[in-house]
Amino acid sequence: VRYRHRRVNRIHLEVFPDGDWAERVAARWLAFMETTPTARLCVPTGDTPRPVYAKVAPTIDLGRSEVFLLDEFCLPFGDLARCDAVFRKDLLSRLSKAPGAVHEFNPQADNLDAECERIDRIVDGTLDLTMLGLGGNGHLGLNEPGSKADDPTRVVQIARMTKSAATERYGSSIEPECGLTLGMGSILASREIWLLVTGAHKSEILARALQGPIGPDVPASFLQSHPNVTVLADESAALS
């Protein structure tokens, strides 16, 4: 099996052949749960983690862990693009044993600012592991370009390309205008971060995240300032 590891700035970059990527990330997560069964985890939804969830679902034991969903769209309950619906379909419904707790944003809450504060209070700066996907525009969660490194968990306006993903890829009937996201500040407070990146369409933005200037134009570039980030990429994403 071809496998490469190198450091880019402070970031560990691990590259796996495309066909092995999901298996390797799954194995890594299973090993993490063996050593840290009570972990407080934050997880993303999307095309990138889906094959990893499919691999871990039959065996992973999250029974003593707490799981936070990274973000959510302001869409009606049951909408196909809602992150909670995607997460249920891709992971939760396939687990043989439910996680100890699952914390999700409620975009139907009367007061969305208070809802974000509620989630941040539970997160409380104590996440053991945050897994992230990389947006085509460099976003992390719904921390879209323009976000700052210390942004709190909050209500955000959604970038055009993220909006159309909701309708085109998930079949939502309406484009979400806003979303709720764990803030960059809470993401960067996580003890460990794994950035999951697959596909040639992500190679350019991945290079900017890893080696470009650190700043709001590419929110993923803020990861360069964190001491414990591992990028888990397939060869298509890493070789540009």
Residues within the interface to ligand PGA (CB under 6 A): 46-48, 133-135, 139
Task: Please indicate whether residue 12 is annotated as part of the active site.
Answer: no
Name the residue nearer to ligand PGA (CB basis): 124 or 168.
168
Q: Is 71 a catalytic residue?
A: yes
Q: How far apart are CA 166 and CA 172, in angstroms?
A: 6
Residues in the chain: 240
The nearest distance, CB 93 to ligand PGA, in angstroms, is: 19
* 234 belongs to the catalytic site: no
The residue number whose beta carbon is nearest to ligand PGA equals: 46
- Cβ atoms of 231 and 198 closer than 8 Å: no
Residue of 71, 72, 84, 104 marked catalytic: 71
Q: Decide whether 15 or 140 has the Cβ nearer to ligand PGA.
A: 140
* Minimum CB distance to ligand PGA, residue 37 (Å): 27
For residue 137, indicate whether it is catalytic. yes
- Residue of 144, 151, 234, 235 marked active site: 144
Nearest approach, Cβ of residue 131 and ligand PGA (Å): 11
Whole-number Å distance between alpha carbons of 63 and 223:
29
Residue 134 C-beta: closest distance to ligand PGA, Å: 6
Question: Residue type for 26, please?
Answer: A
Beta strand residue intervals within the chain, DSSP E: 4-8, 11-16, 40-43, 66-69, 71-73, 101-103, 129-133, 154-157, 178-181, 192-197, 229-234
- Of the residues 20, 61, 128, 137, which is catalytic? 137
Contacts of 69 (CB under 8 A, 6+ apart): 42, 43, 45, 83, 84, 87, 102, 103, 104, 105
Q: Closer to ligand PGA by CB, 43 or 134: give it.
A: 134
Q: Which of 79, 104, 139, 143 is catalytic?
A: 139
Min. distance of Cβ 53 from ligand PGA in angstroms?
11
In the three-class reduction of DSSP (H, G, I as helix; E, B as strand; rest coil), residue 6 is classed as strand
For the chain, how far is it from start to end, CA to CA, in angstroms?
20
Which CB, 101 or 127, lies closer to ligand PGA?
127
Active-site residue numbers?
Answer: 71, 137, 139, 144
